[in-house]
Amino acid sequence: MNNTPIEAMPGAFDAVMDITPRPPIVFIGGQGSWLTDASGRRYLDFIQGWAVNTLGHSPRPIVEALARQAEALINCSPAFYNAPMLRLAELLTRYSGLHQVFCANSGAEANEGAIKLARKWGAKYRDGAYEIITMDHGFHGRTLATMAASGKAQWEQLYAPKLSGFIKVPLNDLAAVEAAITPRTVAVMLEPIQGEAGVVEATDAFLRGLRSLTRECGLLLILDEIQTGIGRTGAVFGYEHAGIAPDIMTLAKGLGGGVPLAALVAHRDVCCFDYGDQGGTFCGNPLMAAVGCAVMEEITQPGFLDHVVRAGEHLADGLRALSRRCGCGEVRGKGLLRALALQRNVAPAVVDAARKRGLLINAPRADSLRFMPALTVTLDEIDQMLTTLDRATNEVLAG
C-alpha cells in the first residue's frame, strides 16, 4: 500500500497534457470565494473557474440540484425529452424573449451551433449567403470554426487550412461593418464585452447601430454572451444594457455555475435545422440541465442582480483608487467583469505575485488584469482582494 498523495509523487504532473503553464499547486476544495490547495493553503479566487462559478465554489443550490438529479435521472439520451431540459429551455426563453434553445456542453460548441444555424438559414432564405462578419480581437472558442471566427492575431496561421467565411472588422466601427457587407453576408457575430481580449466593451451605440443595420439588410445578429450572460454584467444578459435583442445568442460559462453546460438560443424565425443537422450525445442531459435551472433560479431572485451591480461598482471604485495610487491605467468593464489596465507589460508578474500572497487573478493580456469573481462575492472579499492586489502591484512595479 502506498499512501503518498498523488501530488507528492515524482512526475505526478507528467501524465497531464502540457497545454498551459500551470503553477505546481493542486486544488482539493472550494467554498464560496475561496479555494484550498493540497497543503491546506487558502486562496481568494477572482478567477472562479474562468468566470464560470456564478454562485462561487460548491454552492448549496448546485450541490442539491446535482444530488437530487443524480438520484432521479442522469442521462436518458438526447432523442428523448427530459424535465430539466424543458425547464431550462423555458427559463432561457422567458428571460431572453427568444423562442428556442439547444443545450450544448461548451461555449465553442454553442457557437459552432450558432454558425451552423446562420449558414443553414442563409442557405434556405438568403440565396446561399454564408459569410459572418466578426470582430478583431474577438474570442469565440477553440474548435476550428470558432477559431476562424475569433479575431486573435496569434491564430491567423494556426491549424491551416482555416475555415473560410469570416470577415473581420474593428470593434465599435459601424461604417466598417457596413462596408464589409456583401450579398454573401448572412450575419454579424460579436461579444457585448470582449472578455479574452481584455474586457473591451462594444458601445451601446455600436450595438444599437448593428441591430438597425442587420435588420435593414436582412442579416442575423448573433451575440456571444458566453462570458457576459447569466448576470455577470448586472443584467441577466449583457445586451440588455443597450436595449436590444439578438436573433441568436450563445451562453456557457456562468450558465452551468461550474459544470459543462452551454446553450444556443434563437428567435423562432431563425430556427431552421432539419432533423440530423444538429445534435450531440450529451446535449440536453438532465444532470447538467438541472444545474442550469438552479443557476437561473438563483440569479433571477429579487435583489441578486442588484448585488452584482453594487459589488461591481465597489470593485471598479476600488480598482480606480488603486490605479491612482499605483500609477496604473483605466478600469474597464461592467458588473463583475472588470479589467485594470497596467501601463506596462507586467500583468503576468502581478498575477504571480498575487498568487504567492494567496490571491488568484487573471491576465488576459500582458498589460491588463481581469477580475471575474463569483457573483455572490461580498464587499469585504472585494476589499481583501484590493489590499492584496495593491501589495502585489507595488512589489512588481518597485522591482
Catalytic residue annotation: 139, 224, 253
Nearer to ligand PLP, 165 or 229 (CB): 229
Count of residues in contact with ligand PLP, rule CB under 6 A = 15
| 53 binding ligand PLP? (CB under 6 A) | no
Nearer to ligand PLP, 195 or 292 (CB): 195
Of residues 119, 137, 253, 338, which one binds ligand PLP by CB under 6 A? 253
| 195 binding ligand PLP? (CB under 6 A) | yes
Q: Which residues contact 158 (CB under 8 A, 6 or more apart)?
A: 147
CA distances for 393 relative to 62, 310, 319, 323, 330, angstroms: 35, 25, 12, 10, 15
Q: Which stretch binds ligand PLP (CB under 6 A): 61-69, 80-88, 125-133, 139-147?
A: 139-147
Nearer to ligand PLP, 222 or 326 (CB): 222
What whole-number distance in Å separates Cα of residue 131 and Cα of residue 185?
Answer: 4
Q: Which residues contact 235 (CB under 8 A, 6 or more apart)?
A: 241, 305, 335
Q: What's the CA angle centered on 346, arms 342 and 347, to 5 degrees?
A: 70
Neighbours of 353 (CB within 10 A): 20
Q: Which stretch binds ligand PLP (CB under 6 A): 76-84, 135-143, 328-336, 389-397?
A: 135-143
Nearer to ligand PLP, 230 or 326 (CB): 230
| 166 binding ligand PLP? (CB under 6 A) | no
Alpha helices in the chain (DSSP H): 48-51, 60-72, 83-96, 107-125, 144-149, 174-180, 204-217, 286-299, 304-326, 347-356, 379-398
Cα of 184 vs its chain's centroid, Å = 29
Longest CA–CA span in the chain (Å) reads 71
Of residues 112, 131, 191, 367, which one binds ligand PLP by CB under 6 A? 191
| 233 binding ligand PLP? (CB under 6 A) | no
Of residues 187, 252, 369, 386, which one binds ligand PLP by CB under 6 A? 252
| 334 binding ligand PLP? (CB under 6 A) | no
| 190 binding ligand PLP? (CB under 6 A) | no
Nearest to 253 by CA among 113, 137, 375, 362: 375
Of residues 171, 226, 255, 316, which one binds ligand PLP by CB under 6 A? 226
Site map 67..106 versus ligand PLP, x via CB under 6 A: ---------------------------------------x
Extract the C-alpha cell encoding 108. Answer: 465553442
Nearer to ligand PLP, 4 or 154 (CB): 154
Extract the C-alpha cell encoding 148. Answer: 476562424
Query: Which sign, positive or negative, has the C-alpha torsion 69, 72, 75, 79?
Result: negative
| 283 binding ligand PLP? (CB under 6 A) | no
What whole-number distance in Å separates Cα of residue 107 and Cα of residue 315?
Answer: 27
What whole-number distance in Å separates Cα of residue 186 and Cα of residue 218?
Answer: 8
Nearer to ligand PLP, 111 or 393 (CB): 111
Within positions 105 to 124, which residues make up the interface with ligand PLP, using CB under 6 A? 106-108, 111
Question: In this structure, are residues 98 and 245 in contact, taking their beta carbons and an 8 Å threshold?
Answer: yes
Q: Which stretch binds ligand PLP (CB under 6 A): 221-229, 311-319, 345-353, 371-379?
A: 221-229
Q: Binding residues for ligand PLP, per CB under 6 A?
A: 106-108, 111, 139-141, 191, 195-196, 224, 226-227, 252-253
